[in-house]
Amino acid sequence: MTQADVSFRRGLRLGAGFASVPLLLSISFGVVAVDAGLSPVQAVVMSALVHAGSGQFAAISVFGAGGGVVPAVLASGLTNSRFLAMGIAVAPSLPGRPWSRAVQGQTVVDPSFVMANRHDGTFDRWLLFGAFAPQYAGWFTGTVLGAYGGDLLGDTDRLGVDAIFPAFFLALLVAELRRPETRWVALGGAVIALALVPFAPPGVPILAAALAALVALR
Amino acid sequence: MNGWLLIAGVALLTAAIKAAGPVVLGGRELPARFTRVVGLLAAPLMAALVVTSALADGRHLQVDAATAGVVVAGVLFWRGSPVIVGVLAAVVVTAGLRALGAP
């Protein structure tokens, strides 16, 4: 077995451990998308093509509130702007022609980004791909369940599903915090983000939090 | 119709955002200072995602039942619980507090 196979399998295993959460989250996405006026087919196609949960929720909440297509697309772009920073981070670890790198870059999602990080400035790209696969499968399957079976659930807030999203990212954060040098940076990011919440559009506080990592330039 | 436009717009923009870094900077050696920043990037991004989703609703800060659920999940994760256990605990605590009348 080559090193690529080993990494890919390891990624699959790690990603599978997290896949139950995208499954739960995307069930609620399917419900919300249909409530906002998409057909079940459209909700499923959106998850298949986009696969960036927070951006999809942002787009749907603007669209569902009657905000129109362009503002909804922009809201998703801002919410997903953190992937710009992540894409720059993984770029040196992705070989090949530009179009091939563009395709490889699509496998960056929050858990795969965290798991593939070697913490020496490089990323294990096969682990990235492996960790992405179960995330994608979970996200797709959950959207199907939510879009077609959402009527069975009723009021999802009452069920506490809004705790899933932050708890999921907290699991990824705690894994990072095991390394002491990340702690002040994480705190800095949290403070920057919270300070910007009242003033900036959703998503921008998260991208701005990435600036906390610039402390490494000292 | 508008639904399909929305899907196309979000799909294209997301793909472009994810492709930008790898296309422009891919396969290149970058200076050591850059790689140190990269190694630290995940922590502030994840921290920001946690606080903006657990302590805020849109543009205003708020603490509610979900905040308590997320705190419980954090303790479980720190003690080594699997992801699904912490997440389900967060959901159960949140739903339980709401059943008792919390916001």
pLDDT, one tens digit per residue, over B22-66 is: 999 987 777 888 878 888 899 999 999 999 989 987 788 889 999
CB A205 within 8 A of CB A193: yes
Interchain CB distance below 8 Å, A171 and B83: yes
Strand partners, B60: B57
Q: What is the pTM of this model?
A: 0.88
- What mean pLDDT comes out for the span A54-82? 89
Question: Residue A99 has what pLDDT?
Answer: 96
> Rounded CA gap, A50 and A47, in Å?
5
Nearest to A114, CA basis, from A94, A138, A89, A139: A89
Using the beta-carbon criterion (under 8 Å), do A216 and B49 form an inter-chain contact?
A: no
The pLDDT, as a whole number, for residue A46 is: 97
Question: Residues of chain A with pLDDT > 70: what percent?
Answer: 98
Closest partner residue to B42 (CB to CB) among A101, A113, A160 is A113
Model ipTM value: 0.91
CA angle at residue A55 from A123 to B49, to 5 degrees?
65
First to last CA, chain B: 37
At B32 the pLDDT is 81
Contact A164, B87 (CB under 8 A): yes
Would you call B22 an interface residue with chain A, using a CB distance cutoff of 8 Å?
yes
Reply yes or no on whether the pLDDT at A9 is more than 80: yes
What percent of chain A has pLDDT above 90? 66
Looking at chain A, which residue has its C-alpha nearest residue B54? A166
pLDDT at B88 over 90: yes
Q: Which residue of A has its CA nearest to B63?
A: A163
Verify whether the Cβ–Cβ distance B49 to A166 is below 8 Å.
yes
Is A54 an interface residue toward B (CB < 8 Å)?
Answer: yes
User: Is there a contact between B86 and A167 if contact means CB atoms under 8 Å apart?
Assistant: yes
Q: What is the pLDDT of residue A139?
A: 96
The interface residues of chain B toward chain A in range 39-78, judged by CB-CB distance below 8 A, are: 39-56, 58-61, 65-66, 69-70, 73-74, 77-78
